[in-house]
Chain A
């Protein structure tokens, strides 16, 4: 009896993340990978041009960054992608990113999402998945 219960619990625990990943409604709302890529292709040049945060991206290959971001957003949105770039903590270690930098990036993303016709509700669903990354990206004080 005890074993059965334990097995059921284990199965339920395993089933949870699977069920979550199966929800690709946000991925589809963004127009799939092509839709995400279109936003990222708009977004990366804005990052480089932003006087507040452009410095962080001046030596970054724009095409490569757009590809990596596309994979990452595709994955968090429930799409069939596997982001294999560096984790956020490693990627931003020692960079001295503060809250104002992080929010500046969010603002540019909002501009790009609107420019590419992502509905406000779908913008916020994506932002809600990305926002917690501030803990790994913003350098602790």
Chain B
């Protein structure tokens, strides 16, 4: 049984406190007019959605004419890596969402062969999302989904790997991803479906920068989520996220940094409009298979508070 990551570092705590402070600074009557769970949960990138992929919903319980905020902590522990994320989002009018996230991947001793034992890969992500059309929940007599477009700007801090990453590997430290999401709740059967198309050239979601010496193409990657509501407070679901593979050929050898698609199966529980807990089983594929060939499967736990 993998243990969950230890307490966040001071810098992450500071970010969370800043997020909390900004959320508390919202108007006292911050919105709670949306139905339970209809703001999704916090993705690892900070935007509202499932766990690994953003949805067309906006975070928080703010509906028409309201402001709302969320803050979250997420930990994932796979066989050989640990990921910690903290972040926050504010949303207005169930239309516009701003999000922040800070990720830290503990590579444990996997990079010791490269002389980088205990390396931490970090990145900061700022995001904005705009709901373009539709109502995923109430337009239950129509197949038209709720549609949103979003932008995620990511800046990686690869620490001692930086000279290699931005040098011979040819990746850029920062980069952006543009996505479009379509979310539809099939209300009668209580099934939610989401399709996201992400235009990206991020390596391992941006933790290894963007693009590579051999491949700088932008690619459109589909991401799919399906969830079933078991009660007003409980949902279960699965997600699949296709990923680019721009470091397939590199100075470390073909396939050394091969990237694989991500999958998860989750259960999300929102006992009220102030807190939600998401637990999942994740499969992140092999990460840097030249040094660690095992598929990275493990546990994921996320707690979100909403204002």
Contact = CB atoms under 8 A, between A and B. Distances in A.
Interface of A: 98-104, 106-107, 110, 120-121, 124-125, 127-129, 131-132, 134, 138, 141
A128 B65 contact: no
Contact of B33 (A103, A121, A125): A103
B133 interface: no
B189 A124 contact: yes
A141 B142 CA distance: 21
B138 A132 contact: yes
Contacts of B140: 127-129, 131-132
A84 B230 CA distance: 35
Nearest to A114: B232
A132 B141 contact: yes
Given A128-B188, A134-B138, A99 B230 contact: no
Contacts, number: 64
A131 B139 contact: yes
B253 interface: no
Contacts of A106: 35
B35 A100 contact: no
**Taking chain B's interface residues, is the majority helix, strand, or loop, or is none over half, making it mixed?**
loop
A99 B190 contact: no
Interface in B176-198: 187-190
Among A99, A101, A127, the most chain B Cβ lie within 10 Å of the Cβ of A99
A120 B31 contact: no
A124 B34 contact: no
Interface residues of B, number: 26
A120 B187 CA distance: 11
Given A98-B64, A120-B190, A131-B138, 4 more contacts: A98-B63, A106-B35, A121-B189, A124-B229
Contact of A103 (B34, B187, B190, B229): B34
A138 B135 CA distance: 13
B188 A124 contact: yes
12 contacts: A98-B65, A100-B33, A100-B64, A120-B190, A120-B232, A124-B187, A131-B139, A132-B138, A132-B139, A132-B141, A134-B138, A141-B64
Nearest to B234: A120
B11 interface: no
B63 A103 contact: yes
A99 B62 CA distance: 10
B66 interface: yes
A100 B31 contact: yes
Contacts of A124: 187-190, 229
B252 to A, nearest CB: 52
A129 B140 CA distance: 7
A110 B66 contact: no
Nearest to B186: A128
A99 B94 contact: yes
Given A98-B64, A98-B65, A99-B33, A127 B187 contact: yes
B137 interface: yes
B255 to A, nearest CB: 47
Of A102, A103, A107, A134, the most chain B CB neighbours within 10 A belong to: A103
Which 9 A-B pairs have CB atoms at the shortest separation, nearest pair first? A100-B33, A99-B64, A128-B187, A128-B188, A128-B140, A99-B63, A132-B141, A131-B140, A131-B138
